[in-house]
Chain A
Amino acid sequence: MTYSLPMGRKFPKITIDLTKCTVPFLCKKCLQACPMAVFNVTRVMAKEKRLEEMDPRIDGNYVLRAPRRDKCTVCNVCLDICPVDAIKIDVPKQGHQKVEYVSAKKSQQKKSGTVEHDYFAELKKQPYPLFTAPKPYSFDLNEDMVQMVRKDFNPDKVTNALSEVIKGKSKAEAQKTGETFFKDMGEKWMRRTIQMGDEYYDRTIEMIMETVDRQGKQFLIFPHVLQRYVEIAYLATQDFLKVPVTLNNADEVAYRIPKCALYGKIEEKVGGDFAKLMTCKDYCHSALATAQKQINVDILIDQPATTAKEGFCEFSMRKL
């Protein structure tokens, strides 16, 4: 259904005196009173202040607007409730005709002298309940920590160690040695990741652990604690800047390694034939098994795709 409003229709014109309505964020009386939710309070979007938090108690940081004035019925409830008389509504009859509206309630109040002229000053004195200065939290991984894991487990170093142990061995022997090597190495890789990951907390994992420990909500351990270890491990050893996660829900985590840096190095230094044997998959499997032991949740680790066959590796961990 195509929708169109009657062109040329005039809507009530709502003018807000910003010299009177200075701290609308703290007041918001008109927002609550308006039957058609015509008003909203918005932050002043000055370009240079775009990334700053703005204290709603300071004059002019927030402004009151009437974005939905098409729905204004000129019932004048807002005029009655406004403590500083900042709102004016012009009726759309024959253009914008000015109509003086003096609220019965207001004029009574004025006579009896009960209008609070220092209304906003009173509001500003109260501490704003939600507003706190932005905390210097970091939600990102500690870069130094990632570099420290990378130092010991970068593909170059691992491949060099591999070529040392399989040097001069026959194909079958080399495969066997490679598998043992990767199993052992994978465990070390994940142990180091877990050690560093637990040492260098960021706010994201803190949020998870607070929910798990304080509120007893174990359901966040799988997938998110596991997912964090996996992400650190791969970010520290692969070339990409984010792990391509293909699934993360309460039952299953899956991710893809599109162009494995380790596989590339093995191809380059040891040879394409050896790489095709996919001995390196034990590296990832053993690492995932180590992470699983750490979080102590029963999961089934599967590898539906390998770099040798499909051109990318895919791993999935399903909760049992």
Chain B
Amino acid sequence: MCNLCEQFGDPKHGNGLWYLNPTNYARNMYKLRAPGEGFQGAEVGLETGARRGPSQMDLLNAIENDDYTEYDRIRKILLAGGQGSQVVPLKDADKVLELCSPIGLIACICRKDLRAIDERNELEYTCMGMGVGMLKWERWPERYKGGVKFVNIDEAKEWNHEMDRRGFVHILMLFGAPYIGGFCQCDYPDCGAIRSAVDFGLGPIKGHYVAMVDYEKCNGCGICAQRCQWGALKFEVTNEKANVDLFKCYGCGLCETGCPRGAISLLERTSVPAVAEVWR
């Protein structure tokens, strides 16, 4: 069981998976001010999100200076900060979308920040936000916001399947635990989450599944190897089949959905003893 399920899971819903517990998507639309008190944080309505504490740039400096104590200290802080997101395969993503309202398609902030991609058209949006916070999107910083398109459950599912077809990984994000507020669609290198995970072992925690290849069905076409964003799946030349490194596999299921022969299946992480508790 991952730390998120331990904290926010409910055995009554979805086998205790935290993201299938509908309570985690529920939130009040309004709140009142306590007498004499103002709002804080994001509720102020303007720029918030000023980053405090060390960043990955400090981590790089520690590596260059060969300072392991400093490296370890920063890494621990960053690890604690990245506890709030998990990779979710498409089959679970469909279930997730039935548990929240409203669902809004938005412009991806990471792509804007790291790749200068301005998604200004509703058709271009590559990120999804969920919950009542989406109704207040206009209070986001100007440098982030690019509009919201509200969609119903069926439209959201269709959109998500299209993103999966294109090859994006679905990562579910906590926004103020236990409230789930974002469903990122990520790829390497312009996604902050996947970069942290692949380059530093930080970022989101792994999903509840791992991919397994059925050698009987696999014909070695290599489509899955193109779709893996984690460097976990490669084409093994010796036997001309796909080969998954389960220690690196994040269980996003892109290889499974992309395989034209249905040769890859997602196993429960717990059913593979060596990786059952490998979450990073």
Contacts and interface: CB of A to CB of B under 8 A. Distances in A.
Contact of A53 (B39, B47, B113, B152): B47
B136 A40 contact: no
Interface in A120-149: 129-132, 134-135, 137, 139-141, 143, 146
Sorting the interface of chain A by its residue count into under 10, 10 to 19, 20 to 34 or 35 or more gives 35 or more
B38 to A, nearest CB: 11
A70 B199 contact: yes
Nearest to A4: B201
Contacts of A199: none
Interface in B43-59: 44-48, 50-51, 55-57
B224 to A, nearest CB: 20
B139 interface: yes
A245 B28 CA distance: 5
Interface string A24-39: 0100110110001101
Contact of B27 (A9, A68, A235, A248): A248
Contacts of A211: 150
Interface string A17-57: 00000000100110110001101111101010011111010
Interface stretch (A106-114, A218-226, A260-268): A218-226
Contacts of B185: none
A78 to B, nearest CB: 12
Interface string A229-263: 00110010000011111111111101000000000
A3 B150 contact: no
Contacts of A140: 30-31, 33, 39
Nearest to B68: A7
Contacts of B83: none
Interface of B: 22-23, 25-34, 39, 44-48, 50-51, 55-57, 60, 63-64, 66, 68, 71, 98-102, 113-118, 120, 132, 135-139, 141-143, 145-146, 150, 152-153, 189-190, 195, 199-201, 247-248, 278, 280
20 contacts: A1-B201, A9-B64, A25-B143, A37-B189, A39-B114, A43-B141, A51-B48, A53-B141, A68-B189, A130-B142, A130-B146, A139-B136, A140-B30, A140-B39, A143-B32, A207-B135, A219-B102, A249-B25, A250-B98, A252-B22
Interface of A: 1-11, 25, 28-29, 31-32, 36-37, 39-43, 45, 47, 50-54, 56, 62, 65, 67-71, 129-132, 134-135, 137, 139-141, 143, 146, 203-204, 207-208, 211, 215, 217, 219-220, 223-224, 227-228, 231-232, 235, 241-252, 254
Given A1-B280, A231-B30, A246-B26, 14 more contacts: A43-B141, A71-B189, A134-B45, A135-B138, A141-B30, A204-B29, A204-B132, A227-B29, A228-B30, A235-B32, A241-B32, A242-B28, A245-B26, A247-B23
